[in-house]
Amino acid sequence: GENVEQHPSTLSVQEGDSAVIKCTYSDSASNYFPWYKQELGKRPQLIIDIRSNVGEKKDQRIAVTLNKTAKHFSLHITETQPEDSAVYFCAAPRNAGGTSYGKLTFGQGTILTVHP
């Protein structure tokens, strides 16, 4: 099955700085990589995703890059704001070699703190 490692576990930045979170995955057949944001006491919500046929995707201040050869993908947040403070999770499909039925393996999460 898929194994997803996420680093760092905590990240502290000053407002306006950039933040980068990296995930590695084990199954070379994986083809879909979402990122979820979870604010304290709330549900996880999708913020951006990337499919294996592209190397980068941007949405305003957030971007995701994918390196299929090295089997890692990263979340980039530019011009960070205090409201970006949350836990961020990466994920990859389980059983990607066959049909995963949408099942995901999640990383351990990164606690991002943006100081005003």
**Which of 46, 49, 25, 50 minimizes the C-alpha distance to 36?**
46
Report in angstroms how near the CB of residue 95 gets to another protein at its nearest.
10
Interacting residues with another protein between 28 and 47 (CB under 8 A): 31-32, 34, 42-46
Specify the pairing of strand 10-14 against strand 110-115: parallel
12 binds another protein (CB under 8 A): no
20/104 with CB nearer another protein: 104
For position 54 contacting another protein by CB under 8 A, the verdict is no
Peptide bond connecting 34 to the previous residue in cis, omega within 30 degrees of 0: no
CB of 61 to another protein, least distance (A): 20
Q: Which of 19, 26, 20, 22 has the alpha carbon at shortest distance from 4? A: 26
Q: What gap in Å lies between CA 67 and CA 48, rounded to an integer?
A: 16
Residue numbers of the site for another protein (CB under 8 A)?
6, 31-32, 34, 42-46, 49, 51, 89, 93-94, 96, 99-109
